[in-house]
Amino acid sequence: MTCAECSYCPYLLILTGAALMLCCIIKFRNAITIAKGMLLKKNHGISLLHGMHLSLMVIFFAGYCVVFYFLIRGIQSAGILFVAIGFFFGALFALLSIVLQLDTLSSIKVQHESIKLANQQLLQTESVTIFTLAHQAELRGLETGKHIERTAHYVRLLAQGLSEMPKYRSYLVSGYIADIEKSAPLHDIGMVAVPDSILKKPGKLTPEEFEIVKTHCENGARLLRTADGKLSFQSFLKIAVQMVASHHEKWNGKGYPRGLADESIPLSGRIMALADVYDALRSDYPYKKRLSHEEACKIIAKEKGEHFDPDIVEVFSSIESKFHEISVGLAG
Ligand SMILES: [Fe+2]
């Protein structure tokens, strides 16, 4: 028996078509629920199109049922009329689908653009807030000139250099590098709790005064930890807390506040330590004159495996000319 001779074929086709249309109605209702959450509010045009689209699918479904009924009952006379109705609604259905898709996409695009703009504004606000916080120290005369900007550049250069080493490649991804660069300006935020009488003292600090200075690591970390605790997502502040708490630790374990050694010091703190010291060596203070780039490089090389992580010193040695350019370009 050929397919043309199969008397069940029309029944099967109509029934399958009806089942598919029923699935379309259910899926379309789900799609509308999702789309409504993403559309611009009060978009009556799209709501109307959704309603019409759904109604047409219901009409189609009803049409399949009627045709199936006619087939069972052997009614032939209405065949041409139903074909005409089918073509008419089919064309309307296709047009409506395209208009609906276009309107929905346009609305989502507008929404997307506004989210993108809000996101950019939020990132800029975040950046300005970080620098405003960090510049508090500068306003109090605790840091020289552009120390904050320079150290952020140094941190990025070191992190990028380290990321090329196989050992760090999987860890130092671009997001992590961006986060430690963002954290760098906050490294001395805890200094705001140290009295001016100590910070602005022209001479050498007494051991008691130095103990107070040392508290800036924990004070700064506590401040940022509190801020981070108020966020419901993973922010750069987690890395900032580690960096602030550990930027005065030394590879040989003789740093402060916890006396951590080698890789137990967070990587962000190890990177910041070198950036901070290079900048301090290259800056003028009331109690000391700046050193030349070459002298600073010699001191850093000497501290390899003592104050600094040997890998980070290795990276520094390979890119020290860039440090020199920044120290000259952002002098002050
Ligand atoms: Fe510090």
Name the most confidently modeled range: 57-61, 63-67, 87-91, 210-214.
210-214
Please indicate, yes or no, whether residues 14 and 104 belong to a single structural domain of this protein: yes
- Compute the distance from residue 226 Cα to the ligand 1 centre, in Å: 19
CA of 185 relative to ligand 1 center, distance in Å: 11
End-to-end CA distance of the chain: 95
Closest C-alpha to 243, from 316, 176, 193, 187: 187
User: Which range of residues forms the domain containing residue 22?
Assistant: 9-108
pTM, entire model:
0.72
User: Cα of 216 to ligand 1 centre, how many Å?
Assistant: 7
Q: Where does the chain have alpha helices with state H?
A: 9-38, 44-73, 79-139, 147-163, 166-169, 174-183, 196-199, 207-229, 237-246, 267-281, 293-302, 310-329
Same domain membership, residue 85 and residue 152: no
**Rounded distance between C-alpha atoms, residue 103 and residue 120, angstroms:** 26
**Residues 64 and 85: beta-carbon distance below 8 Å:** no
Mutual angle of helices 310-329 and 293-302, in 10-degree steps? 170
Both tokens of residue 48? 């109307």
| CA 215 – ligand 1 centroid, Å | 10
Tell me how far apart the alpha carbons of residues 162 and 199 are, in angstroms, rounded to a whole number. 33
| pLDDT for residue 2 is more than 60 | no
Residue 266: inside a domain = yes
Least confident of 25-39, 159-173, 202-216: 25-39
What separation in Å is there between the alpha carbon of 262 and the centre of ligand 1? 19
Are 137 and 23 found together in one domain? Answer: no
Looking at this protein, which amino acid is placed at residue 195? P
pLDDT band at 310 (very low <50, low <70, confident <90, very high): very high
Instruction: Decide if 311 is inside a domain.
Output: yes
**How far apart are the CA of 172 and the centre of ligand 1, in A?**
23
Residue that is last in its domain, among 80, 108, 136: 108
Return phi, psi of residue 285, to 5°: -130, 165
Report the separation in Å between the CA atom of 320 and the middle of ligand 1, taken as the mean of its atom positions.
22
Distance 34 CA to ligand 1 centre (A): 50
Distance 277 CA to ligand 1 centre (A): 10
Residues 103, 122 within the same domain: no
CA of 67 to the centre of ligand 1 (A): 82
In a domain, 3, yes or no: no
* d(C-alpha 294, C-alpha 272), whole Å: 20
How many CA atoms lie less than 13 Å away from 198 in the CB half-sphere? 17
Both tokens of 274, joined, read: 């070198």
Residue 2 located in a structural domain: no
pLDDT at site 145: 53
1 lies in some domain: no
Q: Which two tokens stand for residue 235?
A: 């922010």
> How far, in Å, from the CA of 278 to the mean position of ligand 1?
13
Choosing from 108, 135, 158, the residue where a domain stops is 108
Same domain flag for 71 and 195: no
Give buried/exposed letters for 292-322 (b at 16+ CB in 10 A, else e).
ebeebbeebeebbeebbbebbbebbeeebee
Is 88 part of a structural domain of the chain? Answer: yes
- Is 56 in contact with 85 (CB distance < 8 Å)? no
Q: In angstroms, what is the span from residue 238 Cα to ligand 1's centroid?
A: 18
In this structure, are 300 and 275 located in the same domain? yes
Amino acid residing at 296: A
Grade residue 106 by pLDDT with cuts at 50, 70 and 90. confident
279 and 193 belong to one structural domain: yes
Amino acid residing at 75? I
Residue 217 Cα to ligand 1 middle (Å):
7
- Nearest 5°: the CA angle 75, 81, 85 is 125
CATH of the domain at 282: 1.10.3210.10
Total count of domains within the chain: 2
Ligand 1: centre distance to CA 287 (Å): 17
Q: Are 36 and 137 within one domain?
A: no
Q: How far is the CA of 227 from the centre of ligand 1 (A)?
A: 19
Residues 154 and 243 in one domain: yes
Residue 295 inside a domain? The answer is yes
Could you tell me if residue 73 is inside a domain? yes
Return the structure tokens found at 192: 């705001």
Mean pLDDT over each residue of the chain, to the nearest integer: 86
Question: What is the Å distance from ligand 1's center to 114 Cα?
Answer: 40
Ligand 1 mean position, distance from CA 202 (Å): 18
The SS3 assignment for 304 reads: strand
Whether the pLDDT of residue 38 is over 80: the answer is no
Same domain? 64 vs 19: yes
* Ligand 1 centroid – CA 22 distance (Å): 68
pLDDT one-digit tens code per residue, 243-299: 999 999 999 999 999 999 999 999 999 999 999 999 999 988 777 788 999 999 999
Q: How remote is the CA of residue 187 from the centroid of ligand 1, in Å?
A: 6
Residues 124 and 103 reside in one and the same domain: no
C-alpha 143 – ligand 1 centre gap (Å): 10
**How far apart are alpha carbons 308 and 240 in whole angstroms?**
19
- For 196-211, the pLDDT digits (tens) are 888 888 888 899 999 9
Can you name the residues that pair with 285 across neighbouring β-strands?
A: 288
- pLDDT recorded at residue 110: 86
Q: Of 108, 126, 161, which marks where a domain is finished?
A: 108
Residue 118 to residue 110: CA distance in whole angstroms: 12
Check whether residue 274 and residue 212 sit in a common domain.
yes
pLDDT value, residue 9: 78
What's the confidence (pLDDT) of residue 148? 87
Residue type, 206: T
- Residue 264 CA to residue 271 CA, distance in Å, equals 13
Q: How far is the centre of ligand 1, averaged over its atoms, from the C-alpha of 316 (Å)?
A: 20
Report every protein residue that has its C-beta within 5 angstroms of ion ligand 1.
188
Q: For residue 240, how far is its CA from the centre of ligand 1 (angstroms)?
A: 13
* 307 CA → ligand 1 middle, Å: 14
In which residue are the tokens 């029309």 written?
Answer: 10
Residue 15 pLDDT more than 80? yes
Cβ 188 vs Cβ 206: under 8 Å: no
